[in-house]
Amino acid sequence: MKLDKNKEPMFSSFLWRYMERMLAQIVSFLVSIVLARILLPKEYGVVALVLIFISLANVLVSSGFGDALIQKKNVEDLDYSTLFYCSLALSIVLYCLIYICSPFLSVVLGETILVPVIRVMALKIPLSSVATIQHAYVSKHMLFRKFFFATLIGTVISGIVGIILAYSGYGVWALVYQYLLNSVIDVIVLLAILEWKPRLIFSFVVAKSLIGNAVKYTLSSLVNNAYGQIYNFFIGKLYSVEQLAYYNRGNQFPALVVSNVDIAFANVMFPTLSNVNDSDREMKRLCRNALKISAYCIFPLILGMFVVSSDLIRVLLTDKWIEAVYYLRIGCCVNIFQPIQTINWQILKAKGKSGLCLKLEIVKKLIGMSTLVISIPYGVKIIALSCLINTMISTYINMIFGSKMIGYSVMEQLKDVSKTFLCSVLMGAIVFLLGEIEIPAVFSLLLQVIAGVVVYIAFSIWSKNDSFFMILKRLKQLVRGT
């Protein structure tokens, strides 16, 4: 009976988390399209530069504390409140440091407008310290239905405000205020609807027992995030903020698609696997199903986007963003590996291997830095290509160590996604051929999307792809409430 109980809550939780990500990202995407038509690439580049530092600081106050709470089997109010105050105190210290250092950071990056932008955007750090404990509570108790409404409210309101400010001539500040307002609303709504509230209780014993793992998870995430931001730093510093904007915008499209599924699975799989981490057989069963479903959702979206990339940029962003097409295609190739990476990484985290996670991140990033340094003299396009090479190496390393933990071999993982990959490639080929028809770009894009969906489902049925039938079965059970 325990196995059955784990199956359905996991799938329904995934659906709620996926719908939350999907709707939030659709709204964000539509808002970004409007803003991209109003604002200049340079203004996006300025925000991208600031996010280099804000993202790193957010990792310090968010990832480790939340992961430590989720990985622990029996969590009480004292645990949540203790780590809440630890996270909040750290966030205040970090904000003060960034506030003081903002003139220096502005000089380093060569953009004088960055001083006020950095100081305002850094307010996200204390907000993240509150949100990370709320999100851990949501994940631990599988309350993704409530999370759905909190995220949607914040995304819609902040998006509307961002558009109004952009039309009113606020320029880069439209992006800054939209970024902050989203977090403010998210925190306020969750405070209102969640049972857990911060209490005036604290335990040094609890802090000591949890912070050990939290530090390892934080360092692991910090290494990963810092590595990702290094690309932005070198492109923005050595080339131009315009080139950085094209690079970021191109990567945003595939990342947008993948993050919906990937974050949903990561948020659901980590607590689910942590609850059964003493049973390798059950973990393997859950991981196989999760990988099949994740790949089935991601592969066709990524391959389809690769094929229609040129028309997609022209229709949605206009010709002034056409240089982003190359980076969009490379981003598609990078993100197609994400389902396998995520599943294997969640296995390591659920097994409590925080030390191993940190060591692997350091090794992978040292390899990545080597290829990045080699690629820098050859231009932004080669830098983007080096990111793809690093992702392939990183995926293989994750597979090797993840597979050993629960006996889910590399060949088994590849076999589990092979039919889905074949269906996606065939779908992509047909979509490509349809794109050769001489019709306006808008109608061509619409035709390709509709045909892609129909063809993919048809190929799934024809090839008897068990991933398709598994999703269909779960959806029917969910509708019936069984």
pLDDT digits (tens, 9 = 90+) for 117-135: 888 888 998 998 888 888 8
pLDDT at 1: 33
How many beta carbons lie within 10 A of that of residue 4, not counting itself? Answer: 8
pLDDT at 353: 79
pLDDT tens for 265-313 read: 666 766 777 777 777 888 888 888 888 888 888 899 999 999 988 888 8
481 pLDDT higher than 60: no
Of these ranges, 18-27, 314-323, 329-338, the one predicted with the greatest mean pLDDT is 329-338
The predicted model gives 102-120 an average pLDDT of 78
pLDDT at 111: 66
The predicted model gives 339-360 an average pLDDT of 83
Of these ranges, 5-9, 124-128, 144-148, the one predicted with the greatest mean pLDDT is 124-128
Percent residues over pLDDT 70 in the chain: 86
The predicted model gives 223-236 an average pLDDT of 75
The predicted model gives 245-268 an average pLDDT of 76
pLDDT tens for 445-474 read: 889 889 999 999 999 899 888 888 877 877
**Per the structure block, which two tokens stand in for 29?**
């995407």
| pLDDT, the chain, mean | 81
pLDDT at 3: 37
pLDDT at 95: 92
pLDDT at 306: 93
Of these ranges, 46-55, 62-71, 89-98, the one predicted with the greatest mean pLDDT is 89-98
DSSP sequence for 293-318 = HHHHHHHHHHHHHHHHHHHHHHHHH-
Of these ranges, 74-78, 223-227, 236-240, the one predicted with the greatest mean pLDDT is 74-78
Scored b (16 or more CB within 10 A) or e, 107-125 reads: eebebeebbebbbbbbbbb
Of these ranges, 16-20, 100-104, 138-142, 476-480, the one predicted with the greatest mean pLDDT is 100-104
Phi-psi region of 74 (alpha: psi -120 to 50; beta: other; left: phi over 0): beta
192 pLDDT higher than 60: yes
pLDDT at 113: 67
pLDDT tens for 196-210 read: 888 889 888 888 877
pLDDT at 27: 73
pLDDT at 392: 92
231 pLDDT higher than 90: no
Percent residues over pLDDT 90 in the chain: 13
pLDDT band at residue 429 using 50, 70 and 90 as cut-offs = very high
More confident position, 206 or 24? 206
96 pLDDT higher than 80: yes
pLDDT at 42: 67
- Say which range, 35-49, 303-317, 378-392, 393-407, has the weakest mean pLDDT: 35-49
Of these ranges, 67-81, 178-192, 225-239, the one predicted with the greatest mean pLDDT is 178-192
pLDDT at 4: 38
pLDDT band at residue 2 using 50, 70 and 90 as cut-offs = very low
pLDDT band at residue 6 using 50, 70 and 90 as cut-offs = very low
